[in-house]
Structures are given as structure tokens and as C-alpha cells.
Structure 1
Amino acid sequence: MNKKLVLFDYDGTIVDSAKMIVKGAIEAFRMCGLPDPDPNKVRENIGKPLAIALDAYAPKGYEVNPEMISNAYRKWYAEQGRLGLQDEPLYPGMVELIHDLKSNKEFNIGVATNKSRIALNNGLKKHNLKEVFDITLTMEEAKPKPDPDMAIQAMSKLNVEKKSTIIVGDTINDIGLGVNADINSIGVAWGYNSIEMLKNEGADFIVKDSKELFETIINL
């Protein structure tokens, strides 16, 4: 039997991590001796590779080293995880949906995220999801979204065809991956980009809650 593959974004799709990401960005800037970034601009750029996001919210007139900021951010996130302070609540119904798909022999499930590996692992561990997914990919193992690399790697490793692969996400980077990889894409309405943005990027479907998401996945 040829299985289907569902790749989930993490931040803004499975968990609401906006507060954590904004706080982490502020702490990283402080650790590097820089003024605080604008919290609203940080939130608007969740999901983008850091080097691109920094262009939007780095303080003007300061020399900002993306690698230094990234290392400080990872260090802060790792410490929060170690202390059990990684505050990323699950969206309603998502754990149940993930377990329902896991128990269905027709599906492989995975995570494709621009998050760091340590932050993803800490989050999955906290929510008892670390062993549930068949594959997880971060920007440390693959090119960041919207590049199709994460989808290509996942399809190759799990031996799944394009026509049987779905990306689920809340930002234009997730939908962009779907377009670039030529796979089905489902935009979720509860994340960090608007429905209009997701539609304009080329989302095949838009869903308003986890129940509608499950029905859409099953019927594809």
C-alpha cells in the first residue's frame, strides 16, 4: 500500500509559540548588546529564516550579526527547555488529530519547521510527541522553507510520491514550500499569517479548525 505523507509546520500550526519566539528574540538581542527589537515586527516575521527576518526587525544603525543572534537565541531557548519553561501551548484538537493520523496505516506524518533542532526537540518532548512523528526536519538538516528541500528529503526518506504528500502550515513560507515542491498545501487560519496571504501564496485549501483540517486531509 502506498502511504500518504502529511508534513506539519510547528510554530503557529501545532503550537502557539508567538509569545516565546518574541521573548527569545528580545533576550537574544540583549545578550548581544543590542536594543530590543519591535515585538510586533518579530511576530509578523515568525516562520521566516532568521537572516531574512532580521532585515525586518533589527534596530537601524546597529551592526547585527545573524549568526551571533542565532546562537544567542538557541542558547536561550535551550535553557528555557532545560528548565521546563518553554511555554508553547498546543492549539485545540491538534494532538488528537496527530494521534488519529498516526494510528491510520495510510499515513506517515512529519514536521517541517524553520525552528532550531533543540527548540523543536524540547517542544515535542514537553508535549509527548517526540516519538510520534515518522520524520522531523529543521533548518539545521535542510534548507529553510519556502525552499522545497524539507519536502523533498521527507518524500525520499519515506518513499512517498508528490501526489500523496501534503504540507500543513500557517505562513506563506509553508505554502511556498508546497508550491515549490509541487505538493498539496493546506493553510490553517489560526496561525500568524492571514487567510488572504495564504490564498495569495497559492494554498490549495484553507481550514478554520482541527476538525476541518482532519476531514480535508482524509479526503485528499
Structure 2
Amino acid sequence: MSEPRLIMFDMDGTLIDSGSIIAEHMASTFLSHGLEAPTREMSNSVIGLSLEVAMMNLAKCDAETGAAMAETYRGHYRAMLAEGERHEPLYAGAMEAVLRLKAHEASLLGIATGKGLYGVSRILALHGMTDHFVTLQTPDHNPSKPHPGMILRACEETGIHPGRTVMIGDTTFDIGLGRAAGAKTIGVTWGYHHRVALEEAGADMIVTNYDDLNETIDEVLG
């Protein structure tokens, strides 16, 4: 059997296409607090951070105001769920790639995301993916990316060394998280940060579609 390895996925912008929904709720939140609504590009630029940190960065506000805005955002999100009409779709090829990796005898899969644990669990259940991931790392019990805590906790939970771990994500925050933890990193181009930014952040490899992911993981982990 091959040496065990841990494959960590970001969620927003990597597994699921949630940019439009996030931008909509960001706009509603800012307007609720008497602030000018950010553009979609501005909102998408902070995806991946914990919600409180994202608000502080986007609104240029203090922690107390950021926390209040984060709670307003969660209220808008819960209202959307209550309507039951919208959800965040998987990117093309995501499910197939996850199933291929899960079938690999040495691979364990995990999530490292700025989304809260409730939202992660809901989305995994929605797409029938709950049983595919053995560790879920969120801001509920970790510092925001790019702090290495999410990867280090996942490694502790699974018993896999960071050097046998790869972080897959669409933002510089994901690449920073992986590098800070001593893991390998793969940037994906279909999300919310540009390829050049991912390269400049130090991504070990870049992929442009899910078809190439498994081979790229083999390459970076050896």
C-alpha cells in the first residue's frame, strides 16, 4: 500500500460556485449597515477568509463592526435557505474527481474553508458528499486562512504529516494556508483569484480543470 496522504479541498470557488450568492449577500449586508455595496469583484476577493475577517477587510472596519456585519450576513443567508429555491452548484468535474481520489487506497480527503461548519455540512449533504471527507476544518474552531491552523489540525486528526498533505484552492489565502503549514499546494483557475496571483503566492502547481487534478496531486506529493 502507498504511503498515506491527505487531500484538503477549499470549498467556495473550488468545489462549489458560490460567488454570485456571496456577492448578493455582501451587498445586502453593507446596505443594511448604511454602507455602499461592494462590487462582485470586491466581494469575491475576500472569499476564503472567515466571515468576520472578510467583513473587516472589505469594510475597513474594526472587529466589533465586522462581527456585527457577519451576523447580518448570516441572517440574509438563513433567509435564502428558508426560501428553499437556491443552492451553490458543484463545479463541472468536481464530483468525479472527488470519487476518483476517494477510491485511491492511500488518500484521505478533507475540507479547509472559510465557510462555517453548518454551511459546509449542509452543502456536502445537498450534493451527497458527506461521507467523502474525513476532516472538516472551518473558522468555528480554527483561525482564518492563511493561518496554518486548519491544515495542522487536519493532520493531527488524521495522523498524516503536513509533508504528505496537499491544499487545493482557488485563492491566495488557500496557497498561504498550505505553505504556512508545510503542505504542498495546488491552485485552481476556475475560482475567484487570478492565476498570476496564485503563482505569485507560491502555488506548487496550477490546474485549469478537474480532469488534471489527480495526476497533479500524484506529481506534487511524489
Taking structure 2 as the reference length, what is the TM-score of the superposition? 0.89
The percent identity for this pair of structures is 33
Which 10-residue stretch deviates more, 77-86 or 91-100? 77-86
Q: Assess, with a 3 A threshold, how the Cα gap between structure 1 residues 160 and 82 changes in structure 2: closer, same or farther.
A: farther
The aligned counterpart of 1:211 is 211
Q: Assess, with a 3 A threshold, how the Cα gap between structure 1 residues 136 and 106 changes in structure 2: closer, same or farther.
A: same
Alpha carbons 1:41, 1:56 under 8 Å: kept: no
The aligned counterpart of 2:9 is 8
Pair 1:21-2:57 in alignment: no
Gaps of 5+ in 2: none
Within a 5 Å distance, the mapping from 1:1-220 to structure 2 comes to 2-58=3-59, 65-219=65-219, 220=221
Alpha carbons 2:51, 2:115 under 8 Å: kept: no
Looking at structure 1, the residues matched to 9 and 185 of structure 2 have their Cα atoms a distance apart, in angstroms, of 10
Bigger helix fraction: 2
Gaps of 5+ in 1: none
Output the aligned Cα RMSD.
Answer: 2.2
Looking at structure 2, the residues matched to 81 and 218 of structure 1 have their Cα atoms a distance apart, in angstroms, of 38
Give the C-alpha shift of residue 72 in structure 1: 1.5
Alpha carbons 2:55, 2:70 under 8 Å: kept: no
Give the C-alpha shift of residue 137 in structure 1: 1.1
1:12 alignment partner AA? G
Alpha carbons 2:5, 2:108 under 8 Å: kept: yes
Give the C-alpha shift of residue 169 in structure 1: 0.3
Looking at structure 2, the residues matched to 131 and 33 of structure 1 have their Cα atoms a distance apart, in angstroms, of 42
Looking at structure 2, the residues matched to 197 and 64 of structure 1 have their Cα atoms a distance apart, in angstroms, of 30
Give the C-alpha shift of residue 217 in structure 1: 1.4
Taking structure 1 as the reference length, what is the TM-score of the superposition? 0.90
Which 10-residue stretch deviates more, 69-78 or 34-43? 34-43
Looking at structure 1, the residues matched to 102 and 19 of structure 2 have their Cα atoms a distance apart, in angstroms, of 27
Which 10-residue stretch deviates more, 15-24 or 39-48? 39-48
